[in-house]
Amino acid sequence: MILVVGLSHRTAPVQIRERLAAGAEALPAVLARLASREELAEAMFLSTCNRVEVIALAHGEAGIDEARRAICEELAAHGGATSGEELVPYLYEKRGDEAVRHIFRVAASLDSMVLGEPQILGQVKDAYEAAAGAGTLSGLLARCMSRAFAVAKRVRTETAIGAGSVSISSVAVDLARRIFGDLADRTVLLLGAGEMAEAAARSLVKGARALRICNRNFDRAAALASELHAAAVPWDDLGEELTSADVVVASTASSTYVVTRDLVKRAMKARKGRTLLLVDIGVPRNIDPAAHGIDNVYVFNVDDLEQEVARGMQARQAQVTAAEAIVAEELAQFLSWRRALEVAPTLVAMRTKTRALFLAELERSLGGRLRHLTEGDRLALTQMLDSAVNKLLHTPTTKLKARAAEGDDAGELAAAVRFLFDLQEAVTAEPSRTATPTRPPASASADDEPLIN
């Protein structure tokens, strides 16, 4: 069963989310710990500025609670909590069909703080590739994520949910304009040169008098500045830059504050009381929230931006119904394929055992009373036997497949078939850690009956 355990901007404040966030350098260790848990067959770790989730495949129905406990323990260990219970008030959990629906909605940006924002799909793909590269993603969960990407593409192309400014970065710029009005006479300092910072820069450069980019890697800052006709400044000049900037937008990969209260306090003395707006779109946070207590200093983080996001959501709400319909349609198709996958081993085992019994009886007869038959006659009898097996098993096969497609009691019926036919060797459909990613059947599947006349 697929399981999602995590927290987001809806359930946990930024000070909790930042403890569990994992950048590219920490991700391999997190995935290694998840892979070491026997309760999890597959797992991936999604970390964005607004959510941290473990998406996993548990070892069978009976192990779902154990899988949840394992995930909570690993999240607690990663976030420095004393136990998994410490995080429980902030966590949500999705199981089975609801987990798949949640994954589809997240990839399609229907659960984002900024509805329809495009960055989340790239972040989910990055998490998928990291898990696949680490060997923690291989079978059913890999197939689920593949369908999630298709869902996101359909939502993006078939609805207008992403029209207009839809990123956290653009909302940060809107906030600056609302406080200062026209930015034409303002200097904006951008801390960081990653994807979020670049998105903010492209919005800022259109209206600000001057855009200055400060990054630990000066070459990266210079490359972005050159592209946007901005100015790159050395990281060591940060204190001086805070003195001259009006708006600071921070989005770095630092795990600690890069703008401290003391740094801001020193800058404000030189500014002689001029207002300073600090917008922190990083998770973990880049700006010490204590700086907000300094006169004429205003600090906003990603949680504060949620109120700004709400202002621009009305136009997109009209597209939600269409987007949710796409999710529902794709979910039904995936679950139908999943249920068919569950009954396939039973059908194959039933067919294999029945044919083996018929062949054994035929061989016994051909070695006794029918040993005088020619090779042609023997072949004809074998073909007749295969035809009889097909006709005998056609009805139970088609009925069980139909049950699986309809989402009724296919699992119970498959179990009854295994009991009645004593199919001890029948295997479940849960893939192993080393399974090859499964693909949905096209027009036929391995257990379709051969037509022998």
Q: Would you give the distance in Å from CA 15 to the centre of its chain?
A: 22
Q: Which residue has the tokens 């019994």?
A: 357
Phi, psi of 276 (to 5 degrees): -130, 120
Grouping H, G, I as helix, E, B as strand and the rest as coil, residue 112 is coil
Q: How far apart are CA 147 and CA 151, in angstroms?
A: 6
Diameter of the chain measured on Cα atoms: 112
Query: Which of 199, 182, 63 is CA-nearest to residue 122?
Result: 199
Task: List 190's β-bridge partners, or say none.
Answer: 213, 249
Query: Which of 329, 450, 324 is CA-nearest to residue 391?
Result: 450
Helix (H) or strand (E) holding 110: none
The answer to whether 72 is a known catalytic residue is no
Query: Which of 103, 91, 115, 197 is CA-nearest to residue 150?
Result: 103
Q: Which of 49, 72, 144, 214 is catalytic?
A: 49
Phi, psi of 41 (to 5 degrees): -80, -40
Q: How far apart are CA 153 and CA 151, in angstroms?
A: 5
Catalytic residues: 49
